[in-house]
Amino acid sequence: MLIKSAEFVMSNSDVAKCPKGTLPEYAFIGRSNVGKSSLINMLTNRKSLAKTSGRPGKTQLINHFLINKNWHLVDLPGYGYARVSKSSKKTFQKFITQYFSFRQQLVTAFVLVDIRHTPQPIDLEFMQWLGENGIPFSIIFTKADKLKPNAINNHIEAYKNILLETWEEMPNHFITSSSKNTGKEEVLHYIDNLNTN
Ligand code: GTP
Ligand code: MG
């Protein structure tokens, strides 16, 4: 899919205030610092459409971006960042939960996990919660540039083994690197197919 335009629409912490209308949307979620905002920039060929940072906790709101004037990408705050205060953690959790529970326009979520790490309970629990709530999702393994191809395969195999303990099959997944621009066509193609179905 060719990205002809990508525009910031709005940021907010209330799902009721998200853009109205019926445009399909795709949300990126995962631990703080996993590379959600960087991936949005990679997919849209923009350097700083979504704000990124080396320090976790950069994205704090629900951010809508309008792509090709006919669908939305949504950048969300990360979960699992230990240094935010308890009260702001609660607020995050509340609006993320509400976003996924009530956002009718959401076609699918992309759960990002850092390819270098072994499967983490927080990610597995989040996927479980999506499954229990009937919210479709794919997994995006990020930062693939940090591992050699062999290690990538081993890590994905380990993930598969753990997921297959609770899931009937391995969820749809992608391998990406925002710094090396890999995995972009696969993700965009997947979205394109969903948009036209
Ligand atoms: P929060 O908004 O804090 O939840 O983080 P985020 O998930 O949006 O992560 P962000 O895109 O801000 O990236 C976090 C850090 O990881 C930045 O220093 C990025 O440059 C780096 N990063 C993101 N993607 C990649 C990647 O594919 N490869 C490498 N090597 N670094 C990456
Ligand atoms: Mg971010």
Task: State the Cα–Cα distance between residues 140 and 175, nearest whole angstrom.
Answer: 6
Whole-number pLDDT of residue 84:
67
In a domain, 55, yes or no: yes
In a domain, 1, yes or no: no
Give the distance (Å) from ligand 1 centre to CA of residue 160.
24
In a domain, 127, yes or no: yes
Low-confidence ranges of the chain (pLDDT < 70): 82-84
Give the distance (Å) from ligand 2 centre to CA of residue 165.
30
In a domain, 177, yes or no: yes
Whole-number pLDDT of residue 28:
98
- 66 token code pair: 């309008």
Residue 44 is part of which domain span? 6-196
Task: State the Cα–Cα distance between residues 7 and 64, nearest whole angstrom.
Answer: 9
The CATH number given to whatever domain includes residue 146 is 3.40.50.300
**Ligand 1 pocket by Cβ (under 6 Å):** 32-38, 52-54, 56-59, 77-78, 142-143, 145-146, 177-179
In a domain, 77, yes or no: yes
* CA 44 and chain centroid, separation: 14
Domain count of the chain?
Answer: 1
Q: What is the pLDDT of residues 138-178, one digit of tens each?
A: 999 999 999 999 999 999 999 999 999 989 999 999 999 99
Which CA distances in Å does 23 have to 29, 65, 69, 176?
Answer: 19, 11, 9, 26
Cβ neighbourhood burial of 175 (10 Å; 0-12, 13-18, 19+): buried
Is residue 142 classed as helix, strand or coil in its secondary structure?
A: strand
In a domain, 125, yes or no: yes
In a domain, 119, yes or no: yes
- Record the pTM: 0.96
Task: State the Cα–Cα distance between residues 137 and 149, nearest whole angstrom.
Answer: 25
